[in-house]
Structure 1
Amino acid sequence: MSGYDNSTGGERSNRFIPGEQRQVVDSTRRSVEERREGEDSFENENKRATPDRRESLDRRVMGFQVPCKTSGTIESVEDWLDENCRNDWQVVLQEVDLDQGTKHLMVMFERESDRNVFLDKYLQGKI
């Protein structure tokens, strides 16, 4: 087994190989130039679309948070939020009890008014 690690391109932490027996690693870095510079563009390059990615809401915008617990489904909480909130909201599962009966959630709201409606109904046990 040699002291050279091909997977990382460098030497392993084996310090017992004498320096004159170690393999030299080419440490030249890529230039800052565009990698495809000088290459011909391929057909339909301008039609390449970025992959569809799920848009995540910025938590910094969600300034109003309510920690809560439910033994129901997260989907039922999300359905209630869809029907009753006028602005953006987000639900994050934080913990599930060992018996998997109770889920600890953080419900975040963009607007205080939506948070107040949710909190009122949650405290009444209607959610």
Structure 2
Amino acid sequence: MKTEDAGSSVLETWTVEEVAEAFDRNEIVLIDVRTPQEYMFEHVEGALLMPMAFFRAEKLPGQSDKRIVFHCGSGVRSEKVARAAMAAGCDRIAHMEGGFGAWKAAKKPYIGTNMATGAPTPMG
């Protein structure tokens, strides 16, 4: 995990492995900030959807029970959202390096779309 101090806040950049392990142990809430269309086509099973276009940092819950880790397609949008959360007062926030593309490249499980039927299908 990489960390960056930004005043009174810390931005953490987690690897896919770190996210997958913490997610499996139910230690984090994984929030997907891609569009609803991207999420519907393929997503990490159990990740929550909070599209960047509708993101309101002040509405985030506290992190006393589970840490929040954002992800997007490549890591660019999730970093922007994480920085917005820091600006809204989150003192420690994280995002996943490389986004969903890195998740798939690491052969982690996800829900995709069966192109023949349109049905959600486990992948990876």
The TM-score, its normalising length taken from structure 2, stands at 0.23
Give the greater-gyration-radius structure (CA): 1
Structure of higher RCO (CA pairs closer than 8 Å, 6+ residues apart): 2
TM-score normalized with structure 1 length: 0.23
- The answer to which structure has the higher helix fraction is 2
